[in-house]
Chain A
Amino acid sequence: MGPALFKGLDISGSALTAELTRSQIVATNLANAFTTRGADGQPYRRQTVVFEEELSDAQRAFGRRADEPQSAGGVRVAEVARDVDTPFVTVRDPGHPDADANGYVSLPNVDTFQEMVDLAASRRSFQSNLAAMRTYRSMIEDTLQNFRR
């Protein structure tokens, strides 16, 4: 928190944290793209990250000025969910220990290309928030410098 002047840095900082979580989830998905035995004995299910706009405590407490970003607080990861809607990918591989009676193996519902696209989007967001943070910092520095006598 701290003074209002530094609030802007917290907003960008929250985005960096959220994007970092997202890219970690992408990495987990890619690492487990061929994991046929997850924690529940089933093939690994792809995880998705849900972002949510963060509103400040004051805003939530008073329940007003909901559309005023003066006290808004960036973004946060609301949930890391399992994708149970996308079906598993089945391939025929009778020699695989996890193959069913017909010789088909269920592979995780991770779409490698989709994950790469997500990673690119996350990276772009990370970079632009970092750029915004730098600009905002120089703005504060300039202001302090200008009033130095």
Chain B
Amino acid sequence: MEALGGDLVTTQRILDLAAVRARVALQNLANQNTEGFKAYKFDFEQALREAVETNGGAEEAPSVAVERDTSGAPGVNNVDSFEELNALTKVRLLQDLFTRRAAGTFDQLRLAIRGGR
């Protein structure tokens, strides 16, 4: 399936990463007033870069590295709500783009199966 659906693997991986980033943002936003909460951090851009470079991470996708951002004074909440809202908006656009792309690939496949009709 390399020729036809190979691109979908990368798209799927990117959508998976986008879902993780969105949930990280939502969880951080929900806890912006939780005393002592330390934000989750996830290097989304880096993960995207890896996904593209490895064409979706070969056979098994590597697990996603989500860590705690321990910056700031101990016991003090370090959620930056504007940053998280920002990230969420970017993820939304990216998700839109890549679901369109996937749908386009499916359209092409359908066309090919029908013999161009």
Contacts and interface: CB of A to CB of B under 8 A. Distances in A.
A128 B81 CA distance: 7
A104 interface: no
Contact of B103 (A18, A124, A146): A146
A136 interface: yes
A11 interface: yes
Contacts, number: 108
B50 to A, nearest CB: 18
B96 A142 contact: yes
Interface residues of B, number: 35
Interface in B52-98: 64, 66-68, 81, 84-85, 88-89, 91-92, 95-96
B96 A74 contact: no
Contacts of A74: 26-27, 30-31
A136 B21 CA distance: 12
A138 B92 CA distance: 8
Given A52-B34, A69-B40, A15 B23 contact: no
A51 B23 contact: no
A139 B34 contact: no
A131 B30 CA distance: 11
A8 B22 CA distance: 8
Interface residues on A, range: 35 or more
B9 interface: no
A9 B41 CA distance: 20
Given A51-B33, A67-B66, A146-B99, 7 more contacts: A8-B26, A51-B35, A69-B23, A122-B33, A131-B85, A146-B96, A149-B103
Interface of A: 7-8, 11-12, 14-15, 18-19, 22, 50-53, 67-70, 72, 74-75, 121-122, 124-125, 128-129, 131-132, 135-136, 138-139, 142-143, 146-147, 149
Interface of B: 20, 22-27, 29-35, 37, 40, 64, 66-68, 81, 84-85, 88-89, 91-92, 95-96, 99-100, 102-103, 106-107
